[in-house]
Amino acid sequence: MKDILSNGLAKYYLPNGNTHITAHNFDSGMNTTQNLHATR
């Protein structure tokens, strides 16, 4: 999971035209992670 988050951060900070899409995907991933912890 840490690797996934690290990759998400790396893509999030890369200056490219997909920043908005990547940020959205990263936020979705964070929400999923929080939901998993909340479920446990």
Residue 22 has what pLDDT? 57
The end-to-end CA distance of the chain, in Å, is: 16
Q: What is the mean pLDDT of residues 8-25?
A: 59
Higher pLDDT, residue 18 or 32:
32
Whole-model pTM: value is 0.20
The amino acid occupying position 2 is K
